[in-house]
Amino acid sequence: MTIDDSRLIILASGSPRRRELLSMLGLPFEVIVSDSDESTPADWTPEMIVRGLALRKAEAVVPAAGERNAVIVGSDTIVVLDGKVLGKPVDKQDSKAMLELLQGRTHQVYTGVACIGLPEGTVSVEHRVTSVTMRTLREEEISAYIATGEPADKAGSYAIQGLGATLVEGIEGCYFNVVGLPLSLLGGMLAKYGISVL
């Protein structure tokens, strides 16, 4: 694959965490926030959800990207416990219920990544899974964590890169996958579009 230094990366996400992770690669990129529908059929598996939504987010910004020499990157992350998907909490009570479910248990974090090469329109979609074990929590710890506001917009009601790190006993797999963008996976995908990370 020929290296193409002129190719721009467009991140189809408003997530400050994904923006921060992508900036670690030291490559030029811009953000176009995707406003795609995130509803999915009830019978979709976790793999189908993250892959489908990552692609949907990337496709939603194609019109805004125009005819540029670029690669659009879309990503989606979900938390899964015993086959049940835990999305973002709707309120503090929902956060409490999720954290009570997760504490003392091992769950899986799925992140899908989709790349669309422009102007040619080539598409690639992958996903990664990381297992996360949360320690047993006291009720007052759960309440104190919710009071920080950190769980409010996070899948599974915790942020491993923030105070939520104190809730996690161990992980198996890619840490960045849990934050929301598996960099090793993305690096390999970008190479197919002529963008070299190293």
Q: CA 118 to CA 128: how far, in whole Å?
A: 24
| 74 to 118, 119, 133: CA distances (angstroms) | 14, 16, 27
Query: What H or E segment, with its residue span, contains residue 54?
Result: helix 46-60
Q: Give yes or no: 76 in active site.
A: yes
| Cβ atoms of residues 132 and 107 within 8 Å | yes
Q: Which residue has the tokens 């990664």?
A: 128
Catalytic residue among 76, 82, 91, 94: 76
Q: Which residue has the tokens 């769950």?
A: 107
Say what the alpha-carbon torsion angle 125, 131, 136, 138 is, to the nearest 10 degrees.
-10
Tell me, what DSSP letter sits at residue 105?
S
Annotated catalytic residues are 76
